Amino acid sequence: MQQTAIERLLPEVIRQTSTPGSPLHALLEVMADLHAPSEAALDELERFFDPYRAPDEFLPFLTRWVDLEWLFGEAPPASALVATTEFPGGPEGLRDLIASGAHLAHWRGTEAGLLLLLRLATRREGFSVAPALDGAGSAVPFRVELRAPDGPPKYRELVDRIARREKPAHIEVLVTFRDE
């Protein structure tokens, strides 16, 4: 809020005492300066809700809006910026996930939805789902094998977490990692 706008809110009697160099004039300058950061944020508020324009530290908050906060695990890091930078898919992976949140919810519990979520979260290709086989080579009922490209421990934890969370309730998923 500009100093003149704040001044207009004051009664006329008080407004007359606001002359350059007066204590009231100085106080109104300080008030205007205190409003500046809030006004700047409000001027570009819509960018905070666009996953591709939001600051990195705001992304974990947006994951809550599309029911994906569980991707950070049981105890997410205390700092939102740490959560974003340590996420295996990085900030860009989070942005893609948030933008695709409604689409992912529609396909939840399906093979297509699981594979899409894995690709978006890890920013890697090469995931596949196949029937799990027993020792004799026969398919085991209600069990599938999720084949994933190998990666570092944080990546493996994320793939396991996604597989456990997004599989249909009646299916057991065996996750195997392989060299690309």
How do residues 72-119 score in pLDDT, each as one tens digit? 877 666 667 667 778 888 899 899 999 999 999 999 989 999 999 999
Residue 2 pLDDT > 70? yes
CA 70 to chain CA mean position, Å: 10
Give the per-residue pLDDT at 179: 80
- Quickly tell me which residue has 């105890």 as its tokens: 75
Give the per-residue pLDDT at 83: 73
Q: What is the mean pLDDT of residues 17-46?
A: 90
- Quickly tell me which residue has 């009922």 as its tokens: 141
Give the per-residue pLDDT at 62: 92
Token pair for residue 22? 């007066």
Give the per-residue pLDDT at 5: 87
Report residue 126's pLDDT band, with 50, 70 and 90 as the boundaries.
very high
pTM of the complete model = 0.75
Give the per-residue pLDDT at 15: 85
Strands 128-133 and 172-178: unpaired
Give the per-residue pLDDT at 180: 62
Mean pLDDT of the chain: 89
The residue with greater pLDDT, 180 or 178, is 178
Q: What is the mean pLDDT of residues 153-166?
A: 92
Residue 167 pLDDT > 70? yes
Report residue 50's pLDDT band, with 50, 70 and 90 as the boundaries.
very high
CA distances (Å), origin 89, targets 68, 94, 121:
14, 7, 5
State the DSSP H helix or E strand holding residue 111, giving kind and residue range, or none if neither. helix 111-122
